Structure formats: structure tokens, C-alpha cells
Structure 1
Amino acid sequence: MGSIVYFVRHGQTDWNAEGRLQGQADTDLNDFGRAQATRNGELLRTLVVQPEAFDFVASPMRRTRETMERLRRAMGLPAEGYRTDERLVEVNFGAWQERTFAELETVDPGCFARREEDKWRFVPPGDGAESYEALTRRIRPFLEGIAGDTVCVTHGGVLRAIFSLTDTLPPEECAALQIPQDRVLRLRDGRLEWLS
């Protein structure tokens, strides 16, 4: 792939700040997250010389769409000039969504330790729940289908999958990777690099 892709994780939400598992729950940015989105857009403005030549794509969730709209405005672009792709939604945490690990431990003692034994392949309980390994199967066609320079706003789990799909890190390291909300991740010539 000869294209340049700039990946941005959505800005902080109150649930991020509380350590609450969001997954596919549709939450909103908080004020700190809105400022992060704007700062990422200001950085992208210095990196993207011809934005009209870029595809802009986001997960359809509210927190990613608001992040995209804020970063586009910071780039000097109209907020609405992007598309969404369902494949970019966050990993599904099933019955664990909307809870913190402290809350989960009260109803299912040891659940956190069981997850840590093989975090990459672990599937939480509940309908539709996914492992990170399953998430990579959903993300692979998106990544392989990128046909030109792109700005993509998505989620932490999706970016962990991208680290695995680009052979940047082994899966077990990808599962534990901290994904910042205040930096831009560039994919160029098959290599990922954090920019700030």
C-alpha cells in the first residue's frame, strides 16, 4: 500500500475517564476529549498539504463522528465532508459494556485475571461479544481496501488490531497496548509511527 493513512482515536469520554468499558455503547466526548480532537486536527493541518486529495472516514459512533468533525474544522475544512464505515466500530464487549472492572469483579470474581491470561483471544460473555482476534478479521478488509491517502477516526481496539495486521507487534503485545487519544498515528510504507 503506497498510501499514507493518519489514524486518530476519538477524544476522551466520561466513560474513558471512569475506566468504564464502552465497546459499542454510543457515548459522547467530554470537554477534554473535544479539546484533544481539535489539537489532533491542528496537527493534521500541518501534515496534510492537499486535504482535497484525502479520503476522510470515521466509525459511525457519536464520539468518533464528533472527533472527525472537530478535527476537520481545525484543519480549515467543512465539518461534514467525510464518510462512515461500520467496520470501524469498537470491539464489542458484550455483557461487560457500560461497566468498570471493579464492578465486574463484584458479580464475577476473577474475570479480569481470566481475561489477562489471553487478552487477545478472550471473548467476554454476552451476545455479539468479540475478541481482539475476531476484531482483526473485521478490520482486515477495511485496511486492505484503502485505495488512497486517508484520515481515519476510530477506536482503541481497532488501532490495536491495526498494529497486529501491519505486523508491528505480536498479538499479545497489541492487546495490552495503550492507545493515546491526543496523538496521530501514521501508517506509511507499512510502518506505524506516533506523531505529536
Structure 2
Amino acid sequence: MSKNIFLLRHGQTVFNAQQRLQGHCNSDLTDLGHQQASVIGLSLKNKLANKRQWTIYSSPLGRAIQTAEIVAQQIGIDPSEIVQDARLQEFCLGDWEKAYIPDLKIIQPRLFEQRDWYLMAPNSESYYAVKDRIEDFLADISVPDNVIVISHGLTGAVFRGVYLGMTYNEVFSQDLPQDAYFLLANDKISRIQCETHTADTVTI
């Protein structure tokens, strides 16, 4: 693949902090989430030789757009130029959207023995549906060669998996950071860590 892609997850949200699942629903960034987006934006600014060569693509979900706008401002890209793309949005988590993770643990204590437990939600979007839309995005010749992609935890993991041809188990063995981002280039993935104080829990 010839594209150069910086891939990041939105910053921490209120639901993340409350250990609630989001999926296609939304909650605003916390103060920490704003900080995470700002620090990643500054890190990107220092890595881009020419900001005019880069286009920001974002999931249309509010928490991703909030993050994208902060990142754009830090880099010096007009936020009005952000391209919203539904292919980058998070898995729909069906009947579990807005659910509290501790409540799910009580109801189904063995559920969390598997890394893909999110997708056990009734009426959840399937892995293959998300994989298809990420494959479509990566093959889309209308997407520029140099892009900054703001997506989500699970969708970001699938994105990296599709890029490297990972197995299903490898996809769900990845972490879902909000204080780091990834460069996908030359068929390799590099992780760039940023210095922010992160929450103890990582939820979608």
C-alpha cells in the first residue's frame, strides 16, 4: 500500500470514564480526553514536514469529530476541511450501547474471558461488516495518499489488522490506546507514544 496513514483513537470520553459502552451513541470528551487529543495533535505537528500535504479523515461520531477538531487546530489545519467518513465509525454495539461494563460482568461473569467480548452484544455489528468498510476505505483511490485518520478503539484495531493482514485473534489482541497513535506506512505499523496521564480503564 502506498498511502501514509496516521491512525488515532478519540480521546477519553465521559462514558469511557464511567465504564460505559458507546458504540454508535456518543458522549463528550473529558478534560483528559481534550488533553490527549491536544498532545497527539502537537506530536503530529512536529512530525509533518508539510501540513498542506495531509488531509484529516474522521469518523462522523461526535467524540471523534471533537478529537479531530482539536488535532486540526494543533497542526494548523482548518477544522472545516475535516472529511467525515462513516466507514471509520465504531462498531454498533447493539443492545449494549450505554450499558455499564460492571453490570455486564455481574450478568455474564465469564464473558470477559474473551478479548472480543464486545461483539457478543445482541444485535451488534459483525466483525466482517466493519472489516469490509475498512477494506473499502483503504482501497478507495479518492482518499489521498497522506491522511490522518481519527477513529475508535475497536474499529482502529480492525483498521490495523486489515492493513497488516492480521488474523481475527491478532486483531483483538491489540491494545486500544488513547495516549498513543500509529503510523501505517510501507506495510509496517509504528506506534508513537505520547505523554499524558491516562485513565486506568480502557472502554469503547
* Counterparts in 2 of 1:21 and 1:76: CA distance versus 1, 3 Å: same
Give, as a single letter, the amino acid of the residue that structure 1 aligns with 2:16.
N
Give, as a single letter, the amino acid of the residue that structure 2 aligns with 1:81.
E
Unpaired segments of 5 or more residues in structure 1? Answer: none
Q: What is the aligned residue count?
A: 191
Runs in 1 of length 4+ with deviation above 6 angstroms? none
Q: CA shift at 1:120, angstroms?
A: 7.9
Q: Does 1:125 align with 2:122?
A: yes
Give the % identical residues: 26
* Counterparts in 2 of 1:45 and 1:111: CA distance versus 1, 3 Å: same
Instruction: Give the one of 147, 150, 173 matched to 2:147.
Output: 150
Show the counterpart of 1:27. 27
Query: TM-score, normalised to structure 2's length?
Result: 0.85
Show the counterpart of 2:129. 134
Q: CA shift at 1:169, angstroms?
A: 3.8
Show the counterpart of 1:48. 48
Quick one: distance in 1 between partners of 2:119 and 2:28? Answer: 27
* Counterparts in 2 of 1:166 and 1:77: CA distance versus 1, 3 Å: closer
Most deviating of 86-95 and 15-24: 15-24
Show the counterpart of 1:112. 111
CA distances 1:66-103 after superposition (whole Å, capped 9, x unpaired): 11110111112322221100111101110011112321
* Counterparts in 2 of 1:112 and 1:123: CA distance versus 1, 3 Å: closer
Q: CA shift at 1:105, angstroms?
A: 4.1
Quick one: distance in 2 between partners of 1:58 and 1:13? Answer: 16
Query: TM-score, normalised to structure 1's length?
Result: 0.88
Q: CA shift at 1:135, angstroms?
A: 1.5
Please give the secondary structure, in 1, of the residue aligned with 2:78.
coil
Give, as a single letter, the amino acid of the residue that structure 1 aligns with 2:108.
P
Quick one: distance in 1 between partners of 2:92 and 2:173? Answer: 17
Q: CA shift at 1:170, angstroms?
A: 2.6
